[in-house]
Amino acid sequence: MTPTDDPANDVDPESVSAFRQQLVGWYTGGRVTLLVDVGHRAGLFEAAAGAGSLTSAQLAQRANASERHVREWLAGMVTAGIFTYDAGSSTYALPASHAVALTGDRASNIAYSAAGLALHAAHVPAVTRTMIEGGGIPYADYRPAFTTFMDQLMRRSYDESLLDGFIGSVPGLSELLAEGVRVADLGCGTGHTTNLLARAFPASTFVGYDISQDALDAGRDEATSWNLDNVTFMPTDVAQLAPDEPLGVIVAFDAIHDQARPADVLAAARRSLSPHGLFVAVDTGLSSNLEDNIGKPIAIALYNFSLFHCMQVSLAEGGAGLGAGWGRQLATQMLRDAGFDAVTIYETPPNDPMNAIYVGRA
């Protein structure tokens, strides 16, 4: 590049400076995310919550951690505005409003979400390779860490809102499950949603399908611990779903857009339903049109998630590579193409801003 070709020659220096500051802000946010992840894994937030002002030594003792490392971590937390600091007493405190978002069993606790950055970062070399060569990254390369991450990412939300917020948003679904029907959960992962439904609707029978044996084992263990006798788990490629008897309800939680053959999965679901049966998919709720997603922070997260996982596991199988940004318009069209005459979209509860509820009626 010659000096006359340098693009900086024709750019307003103030606009360059402003964009550089924006980049630095994003990079800094990533570093804060890693600090949150470490603090969550080490139990530091739980140790600080409700404890008032603590020295670094006191917090380290409560968390059974190294004081020197805790002190450095706290410095990052203070400068990020997550903890407060009193210089006179050299004490730190986690404000109650911050503790609500970082501790406890409520859906408001999103501390575990920070783990996604480190999980994705481990795959940067492989993602870069696919960017150049094409193809994808096999799902096996993400396990078991990804399975655990997804379980923890959504567990509190479903604990709090699955029955009233998700199932309750679909007219007639709760009543159908209460009466007693055969239900399949496609791509059930660790089976937590399957077990929650089985516990809430004992008159219905449930089967959780997934390709991950370790995830299915977790589902079976939870079902056993809850003394559930109306739920089973089976390793299955859901694109080849062919139950012995028709199903009254089929559900899928954050599973369709990851599939290698999503059109086949939807068609198999349609064939497997009894007359008047329901297919209910909780899946990403962006628009299929990129321009509609500009300015939405959740869109940034979902496109990142898609490049680092969703489209990768599909493309690794020679699949469609829909990705998390497939969107409402394409999802609706694919459901219609699969044979669902009536397709309706319902909004998810506020504690799940990334998804929508897609309902196809047989």
- Given 104, 130, 157, the domain boundary residue is 104
Do the Cβ atoms of 281 and 351 come closer than 8 Å?
no
What pLDDT, in 10s, does the model give residues 131-156? Answer: 999 999 999 999 889 889 999 989 99
Shared domain for 66 and 92, answered yes or no, is yes
Indicate whether 271 and 321 sit together in one domain.
Answer: yes
Q: Which two tokens stand for residue 171?
A: 């007219």
Report the distance separating Cα 145 and Cα 148, nearest Å. Answer: 5
Q: Do 217 and 336 lie in a common domain?
A: yes
User: Per residue in 159-200, pLDDT tens?
Assistant: 999 999 999 999 999 999 999 999 999 999 999 999 999 999
**SS3 label, residue 322:** coil
Does position 36 have pLDDT exceeding 90, yes or no? yes
Same-domain status, 139 and 85: no
- Residue pair 42/63 in contact (Cβ under 8 Å)? The answer is yes
349 and 239, same structural domain? yes
CATH of the domain at 234: 3.40.50.150
Percentage of residues of the chain with pLDDT beyond 90? 93
Please report, for the domain that includes residue 78, its CATH number: 1.10.10.10
Tally of domains in the chain: 2
Output the DSSP codes for 65-114: --HHHHHHHHHHHHHHTSSEEETTTTEEE--HHHHHHHSSSSTT--GGGG
Of 104, 128, 159, which one is at a domain's C-terminal end?
104
Does residue 132 belong to any structural domain of this protein? yes
Residues 150 and 180 in one domain: yes
pTM above threshold 0.85:
yes
Let me know whether 96 and 172 are in one domain.
no
Chain segment 261-317, per-residue pLDDT in tens: 999 999 999 999 999 999 999 999 999 999 999 999 999 999 999 999 999 999 999
Q: What is the mean pLDDT of residues 226-251?
A: 96
Domain extent for 125? 119-361
